[in-house]
Amino acid sequence: MNRLVIVLILSLVAVPGCCLKAREARMSFAGDIIMHIPVKISAESRIRAGEDLSSNNGGFDFLYERIRGCLKSSDIVVGNMEFPVKPPFTSRPKIFNARPDALAALEKAGFGIMHLANNHILDQGDSGVASTMEFVRRSGMEYIGVGANEAAARAGIVKKIGGIRVGFIGYTGTLNYPRPARMKGYHLNWLYDAEKLRQDIIDIKKRCDYLVMVAHAGEEYSPVPNPRDVALFKKCIRDGVDLVIGHHPHLIQPVERVVADDGRVCHIFYSLGNFISNQSAAPEAYIRGVPLTTRDAAVVTCVLENKGRRKRPAGRFEILPIYTYNAIEKQTGVRTIQTVPVNQEIQELKKRLSDADIKEKVDIERHLRTLYQKIKVIRLALLGEGEIKEITYIDSGVYE
């Protein structure tokens, strides 16, 4: 072998950081995952005749067919699982439950961590919490916000991603039931236990380089965050949190850039909206005259560059506008519910325009106008008229 080649190989092995691309951690975050009865019916209607239920996870794979590719590039995907999983897996309106197939489909879609601390975790009682934790474990995913005991729940999770130690902790500030005085077989993290919350942040920050707090709080159907939570999240940042991911309002709320006292550039996403649900398409708010609905949402990807242990990783972000497609198909009468990237659907529709007949063109152009409106209102809801330099909003090529 040529001596020069040998020298080059040895230099790459000896000093990998000098010549190789810096490692990155990519983490994506989704909003509320709600198994309303129509969502489950939509999934189960896709069970393939004559095939084993596991072939498409009892039809639940269908819900995420169109978003799955967008999540593949992430090292970890975190979502708020707003339903228990407990035999016999039946549910009632507003009292949620789902079969384990729903978890297997989420894991297949790319999810790795489920946030379980939310107002529906007690829908199937104390035993439902323990059952849910067990089924999430069986699915191959992890969970935050609850634990088998207080120590486990409050410890959170630390994962090494791209050489960066990332911590995840989760809390709820709202429940549909009285807060249990005694929790049997589980512990649920409460957002407004101020001293415990502060101590959790201090403890886990010793074990990680970048800390994510997922919080279930705020006012449902409000496009702006609760002032109480704004103050609390900023205090958490002062205590050591780097990124706050919020949900529960079912509407997108703004993102805020916060510089901590120690110079860390941190971000608060107050609400990401619904990742999937059967909530209404009717406007809940208007932003600059554009309607915002519970079917408009975003997936936020945080990218951390590994710059070595002496430098804090600072996040840059990609925002993917998504929406819940929800319609009854004319040909079959079957309800179709899916999570859809808005820009992807726009590109697909534009390709169909050239071969469409006049009537179809009218329908496509009407739908395109609706999607352009969604692209606009999701951006306005998150960023207003301004920009945040660490954030990229993914709408390139949409208007061409």
Reported confidence tier of residue 9, pLDDT bands at 50, 70, 90: very low
What is the distance between the terminal CA atoms of the chain, rounded to a whole angstrom? 52
- Which pLDDT does position 6 carry in this prediction? 44
Lowest mean pLDDT among 32-36, 44-48, 107-111: 44-48
Q: What percent of the chain has pLDDT over 90?
A: 86
What is the model's pLDDT at position 12? 45
Position of tokens 């703004």?
254
Give the residue, 288 or 17, on which the prediction is more confident: 288
pLDDT in tens, 127-157: 999 999 999 999 999 999 999 999 999 999 9
Per-residue model confidence (pLDDT) at position 18:
37
225-236: average pLDDT = 98
Report yes or no: 28 and 76 within 8 Å, Cβ to Cβ. Answer: yes
Does the pLDDT value for residue 265 go beyond 60? yes
pLDDT at 333: 86
What pLDDT, on the 0 to 100 scale, is given for residue 310? 60
Domains of the chain, CATH where assigned: 21-341+382-393 (3.60.21)
The model's confidence at residue 2, banded by pLDDT at 50, 70 and 90, is low
Lowest mean pLDDT of 103-117, 190-204, 246-260, 331-345, name the range: 331-345
pLDDT at 257 over 60: yes
Can you tell me the mean pLDDT for 176-198?
96
Q: Is the pTM of the predicted complex or chain greater than 0.85?
A: yes
Residue 258's pLDDT is: 97
Beta-carbon count within 10 A of 318 CB = 17
Tell me the mean pLDDT in the region 313-328.
Answer: 95
Is the pLDDT at 312 greater than 90, yes or no? no
Instruction: Give strand pairing partners of 301.
Output: 28, 318
Give the mean pLDDT of 193-202: 98
Please give the average per-residue pLDDT across 232-238, as a whole number.
98
Is-contact 268 358, C-beta < 8 A?
Answer: no
More confident residue, 242 or 399: 242
Residue 76 near residue 40, CB atoms below 8 Å: no
Q: Is the predicted pLDDT of residue 229 greater than 80, yes or no?
A: yes
For residue 124, pLDDT beyond 60:
yes
For the stretch 149-172, pLDDT in tens is 999 999 999 999 999 999 999 999
Question: Per-residue pLDDT tens for 14-25?
Answer: 444 333 445 899
